[in-house]
Amino acid sequence: MSGSFLLFFFDWNSIALSERSMQFADEAVLILANRPGSARIEMAGHSDLSEPEAEGLSRRRVEAVAAAISARGVSRSRLRLVAFGATRPLVPTGVGIPEPQNRRVELVHRWD
C-alpha cells in the first residue's frame, strides 16, 4: 500500500536542498513515524535533458534527500533509492531544453 507523495525540486545542475525541501524532509519523517513496522520510503531521483551527467546528478539528488531524512533519525534500511537520470520527465522537452519540473526527487511512503 502507498501513502503520501512528495516532490523535492532542484535548481539547474544542483543537489542543494531548499528550505521548502527541508520542510518536506520533516514531513516525510513524521509520516513514517506514524507507520511503524514495514513502512518505508521509496525515492526516485531525476534530472532534465539540459543538465550534464544527468544520471549521476539524479543519483546525487536522491542521496541528498536520503541524507536529510536519515539525519532526522530514519534508518537508511527504511529508504529505497533509485536514479533515473533524464529518462522519466514530468514535462517532455527536447535535448538541451531546461525544465525545472524534471529536476526532482519523488518520494512515496509505502507500507504493507
- Residue located via cell numbers 525545472: 100
C-alpha cell at 12: 539547474
| CB-based contact 12:57 (threshold 8 Å) | no
In one-letter notation, the amino acid at residue 74 is: V
- The string of pLDDT tens digits covering residues 41-100 is 999 999 999 999 999 999 999 999 999 999 999 999 999 999 999 999 999 999 999 999
Helix, strand or coil, per DSSP, at residue 39: coil
Residue in 100, 35, 97, 41 with CA at minimum distance from that of residue 69: 41
CATH class of 2-110: alpha beta
pTM, 2 dp: 0.92
| CB-based contact 35:3 (threshold 8 Å) | yes
